[in-house]
Structures are given as C-alpha cells and as structure tokens.
Amino acid sequence: MSRPARLVLFLVAAAGVAALLVVAFLDLPPFGSPFHPYRDRAVAAAVAHATANVVGSVTFDQRGLDTLVEETILLGSVAGAAALLRPSKEERENTTVPEGGRVLEATKLTGYLLLPVTLLVGIDVVVHGHLTPGGGFQGGVLLGTAVHLLYLTGHYRALDRVRPLPVFDSGEALGAAAFAALGIAGIIAAGAFLGNILPFGTFGELLSAGTVPVFNIAVGVEVASGVIVLLAKFLEQALRVQREAVS
C-alpha cells in the first residue's frame, strides 16, 4: 500500500477511534471525584495486613497472581531478547574490546561517585518497598542501571569484570523461581496460592507487611539481573560482535 493511501486509511480509522474514546470518556466518573470504591477496599485490606505502601500491597498481596504473570512476561522477554541477540553464523565475537574514545574527567568522576550511591539507593528502594514508594521493580531497575555507570566512565572491561553474566542469568531465574516458591509455600501454610505466610508485624516497621518485603526482594533480584543481562546483550552487539567478511 502506498504511503498516502495508508495515511488516509489511518486517519479515517483514527477519527472513528477518537469519536468512540470521547463517547467513552464522557461516561467516566468526573476527573478528581472522591468516588473510588476499589481504593476504599484496597486501603482497608492493606492496613489490615500492616502494609504502609498500599501500591506495594496491591501488587504483591492483593494482586499477587497478576504480578507473577507480569514477572513471567519479563523473564520470557529477557530470554527472547537474549536468544535474538546471539551472534549468528556469519558473525564472530571479539574477545577483546577496544577501549572507547576519550571520556571527560568530569564524566568519570561523576560516574565513580554515583556508582555506590545508586547501588545504595537501589537496595534501599527494594528493601523499603512496603513502607515507602518503590519496591522490587523500581529498585531492581536502579540496581541494574547502577553497574552500567562503569560503562559511562569508559571502562567496558571493568564493567565486564563486575558483572559475570552467568551469575545474573541464574539470578534472574532464581528471582522468578523464588516468587513461584513463595506462592506454593502460601498454599501449604496459608491455604491459598501466594497467601501470606509470615507474621504481619507492626504497621510502619521494617519487618512488617508479611510476605510483601520478601516478594519485593525476589522481584528486585529478578529485575536487576534481567536489566543487566539485557543491557549486556545489547552492548555486546554494539561493541563485540563483528560480521565476518563475506567471501
């Protein structure tokens, strides 16, 4: 189909979708209204389980099954991307990587200073996921990106040393397995898949909210490993893999 024809077809369809959306939006509850029945029930359920971060409670306690599926999507797509990014037959992987061009001293300094800070913030966000905004997904991404500050400082080799990929390959699988194992432990101890098996503790304390912090840590390990594996595969494609001269 030619480009103009495609555009016309899209505009006709988009006008239809836009009209349907406006009709649907007109029937929504008015923006900012105090009518939130799910909110009322979710807050009550979170407080009953001594979880200060209601979003964390919804994610890991009330809608745990959704999060398990979401985590499986993450695992599957990381595995899929890693499989797609393997060097193909006509390519070879260099064992040595040429050090990149010159990096500004200020960039290096910032990278080195921020590396420990970012790692600490990442761990903090994962561990306090049930008390403050954050959790395993957010903290995991922070942890995964933290080690890549080394790459920004111009040291791909250093990055290669601090992240042994097999460890993170298994870290990802272990995180996902821990989530499922906690779910099965819930069947045995609490009588429901992903049911809570730990004491709830005192509201607002570090050791509270039952299994939510444990889920946060499992997800944090999986997401951090997943981000590291993914970025490693993309970096390998850009830096290492070379197409052999086709004869």
Contact residues: other proteins, CB under 8 A? 3, 6-7, 10, 14, 17-18, 21-22, 25-26, 28-34, 36, 38-40, 42-43, 46-47, 52-55, 57-59, 63, 66-67, 70, 73-74, 77-78, 80-81, 84-85, 88, 131-133, 135, 137, 203-204, 230, 233-234, 237, 243
Q: Which residue number, 103 or 173, has a Cβ lying nearer to other proteins?
A: 173
What is the rounded distance in angstroms from the CA atom of residue 230 to the CA atom of residue 145?
11
Residue pair 96/247 in contact by the 8 Å Cβ criterion: no
Minimum CB separation of residue 89 from other proteins in Å reads 11
Minimum CB separation of residue 69 from other proteins in Å reads 9
Q: Which residue number, 10 or 112, has a Cβ lying nearer to other proteins?
A: 10
Residue 33: burial class (beta carbons within 10 Å; 0-12, 13-18, 19+) = exposed
Q: Which residue number, 111 or 129, has a Cβ lying nearer to other proteins?
A: 129
What is the rounded distance in angstroms from the CA atom of residue 159 to the CA atom of residue 154?
9
Q: Which residue number, 32 or 166, has a Cβ lying nearer to other proteins?
A: 32
Report DSSP letters for 92-121, one per residue. Answer: EE-SS----S---HHHHHHHHHHHHHHHHH
Minimum CB separation of residue 150 from other proteins in Å reads 21
Minimum CB separation of residue 52 from other proteins in Å reads 5
Q: How far is residue 197 from each of residues 46, 49, 71, 187, 192, measured CA to CA in Å? A: 15, 12, 21, 9, 10
Q: Which residue number, 3 or 102, has a Cβ lying nearer to other proteins?
A: 3
Residue pair 216/127 in contact by the 8 Å Cβ criterion: yes
Minimum CB separation of residue 152 from other proteins in Å reads 19
Minimum CB separation of residue 105 from other proteins in Å reads 32
Q: Which residue number, 55 or 180, has a Cβ lying nearer to other proteins?
A: 55
Q: Which residue number, 7 or 189, has a Cβ lying nearer to other proteins?
A: 7
Nearest to residue 242, comparing CAs of 104, 125, 94? 94
Question: Which are the contacts of 92, defined by CB distance < 8 A and separation ≥ 6?
Answer: 241, 242, 244
Given CA atoms 214, 225, 163, 104 in this order, what sign does their dihedral have? negative
Residue 103: HSE in the Cβ half-sphere, 13 Å Cα cutoff: 17
Minimum CB separation of residue 126 from other proteins in Å reads 14
Q: What's the chain's length in residues?
A: 247
